[in-house]
Amino acid sequence: MSDGFTGKLAAFACGPIKASPLATEIARLSALDWLSCGRAGAAEPVASILHDLAKVEAGAAQATLFGLTAAPVRMAALVNGTISHALDYDDTHFAHIGHPSVAVFPAAFAIAQWKGKTLQQCLDAALIGMELSIRIGLWLGRSHYQVGYHQTATAGAFGATAAAGRLLELSEVQMAGAFGLVATRASGLKAQFGTMGKPYNAGIAAAAGVEAAQLIAAGFEANPSALEGPFGFGATHHGESNVSAMLAELGEVWCFETVTHKFHACCHGLHAALEAGLELDLAAPEIARLEVRTHPRWMSVCNQPAPDTGLGAKFSYTTVLAMQALGIDTARLESYSDAICADRRLVDLRGQIDVTADDSLSETQAVLSLLKKDGDRREASHDLQQPASLEERTRRVRAKAASLIGRDAAEQAWAVLAEEGSAAEFTTLFA
C-alpha cells in the first residue's frame, strides 16, 4: 500500500458507501443521461468504426455495446465510452473541467454485467468512480488542463479504475496497485478536440480502468505510488498536487452533487448564456441589441461570430442566441445544421449580438443585456454552478432523454433505474 494519499483513495474506493441522497439521485439521472447520449451517439460515424473494430477483435460476449451486440469487457468499455461522448452532450463537472459519466459508466456497466452485479452495486461503484475522478481532477488542477491534457480522459481513467476495481472486489492493497498501474495508461490530449479523437479519449479512459483492474485482480504487480510519487503521474503531467482539495471531507462531502447536465446540444461554454436567454424570454422581433458578457476563456473556444456549418454553430454565442430568439430548439441535435447557418433571419439577427469578455465572471457565469426596440432595457445572468432543484433537473433530464431516444425508451430506462434489478437489465437498453 502506498504511504501517501493513494492509500486513502483506495480505502474510499473499497469501503462502505455513505453517499448523500442527493448524490445518489443525481447518479441515477446521470445514468439516464449517459444512456440517452450513448444510444443517440450510436448513429454517429465514429460508432461504426468502433463497431467494426469490435467485430474484428471478436472474443467473449461479456458486455453489451451501444448499437451492437456484445464484446469482451475491455472492448465494451472502449466502444461505449467513445460512443457516449460522440455527441459531446453528456454531463460536465466544472471544478476539474471534465465529463465524469463517459469515462466511468462504461467501465462500471461492462464489469457489472459480466459479473452479474445488481444495478445498485453498479451505480454505487460508478458514483464512487465519478467522485474520485473529480477529486483527481482537483488534485491535478488547472495547469494540467491548460498545458493540453484532457481531464475527462486522464482523471477519468482513475475513476474508471475505482469503479471497475470495486465491482471486481479488489482489496485496498490491490486497488492502490490498480491506481498505480493505470497511471501508466491514463492519457488524452486536447489536441484531439474537434475530431473523433475527443470521444475516443473517453473510451480509452474507460478501457484503461477496466484493464488495470482486471490485471491487478489476476495478480499483476505495479508500483502503488505511481500516481503521487517521484516520476509519478502528477509530477510528469503538470499536476498542481493540490492534496488538500482532493481529500477534503472525502466520503462525507460529495463533489459529484455539483455535476451539471447539458440541456442544449452545443458547447457547454454557451449554456449559461442560453439559460440567461430563457430568463429574458428572447424574441427576435423585439431585439434591437443584445450584449453577452462571458469569461475570457470562452472567447477562444465558443465565440465563432459567423459559422457556416452545423458543427460551427455549436461553438457560436451569436448563432445559438439567435436560434433561441427565433424559437429554434437548442436542445435538439437536428437544430444545428448548415441550413440554419444560412438562414437570412438568423444571419441578420446575429449581427445585432455583441460578445465581450469580462474577467469578473467565473467560467460558469454569463450576463445578457437586452435593448428592446421599444427602448426597454433588461438584464439577466446565470451561473451553471447553481443548478436547479432536483425536481427541475429531473424533469429536464427526462425530457432531454425523450428527445434523444424517444419517450417510450426514456421512460422504460427511468423505470429500470427506479427498480432493484440487475445491471444486465439496464444494459439490454443499450441497443
Give dist(CA 282, CA 303) in Å, integer. 19
Closest of 254, 249, 148 to residue 197, by C-alpha = 148
CATH number at residue 89: 1.10.4100.10
Write out the residue range of the structural domain in which residue 300 sits. Answer: 268-383
Q: What is the pLDDT of residue 194?
A: 79
pTM: 0.93
- E strand residue ranges, 194-341: 287-294
* Same domain assignment for residues 108 and 139: yes
- Residue 279 shares a structural domain with residue 370: yes
The contacts of residue 308 (CB under 8 Å, 6+ apart) are 338, 341, 342
Query: 396 and 248 in one domain?
Result: yes
Measured between alpha carbons, how far is residue 346 from residues 9, 62, 63 in Å? 50, 49, 45
For 287-308, what is each residue's pLDDT tens digit?
999 999 999 989 988 999 999 9
Among 36-40, 170-174, 330-334, which stretch is predicted with the lowest mean pLDDT? 330-334
Mean pLDDT of 26-51: 97
Domain boundary among 362, 383, 404: 383
What CATH number is associated with residue 292?
3.30.1330.120
Closest CA to 352 of 332, 370, 366: 370
Place of cell 449559461: 272
pLDDT, tens digit, 9 for 90 and up, residues 348-404? 999 999 999 999 999 999 999 999 999 999 999 999 988 789 999 999 999 999 999
Task: Tell me the CB-side half-sphere exposure of residue 376, using CA atoms within 13 A.
Answer: 7
Query: Quick check: 245 and 138 in contact, CB under 8 A?
Result: yes
Average pLDDT over residues 254-283: 95
CA proximity to 264, closest of 253, 255, 273: 273
Tally of domains within the chain: 2
> Are residues 21 and 116 both part of a single domain?
yes
| pLDDT for the residue 2 | 61
Are 288 and 225 contained in the same domain?
Answer: no
254 and 293 in a single domain? The answer is no
Residue whose entry in the numeric block shows the C-alpha cell 469487457: 73
* Pair (234, 282) in one structural domain: no
Same structural domain, 24 and 128: yes
Residues 86-116 pLDDT 10s? 999 999 998 888 999 999 999 999 999 999 9
Judgement on whether residues 244 and 327 belong to the same structural domain of the protein: no
Mean pLDDT of 31-58: 95
**Shared domain check, 316 and 245:** no
Burial of 221 (0-12, 13-18, 19+ CB in 10 A): exposed
The answer to whether residues 200 and 286 belong to one domain is no
Buried b vs exposed e over 401-424: b needs ≥16 C-beta within 10 Å?
Answer: bbbbbeeebbeebbebbeeeebbb
Q: Identify the CA nearest to 158 among candidates 144, 147, 273.
A: 144
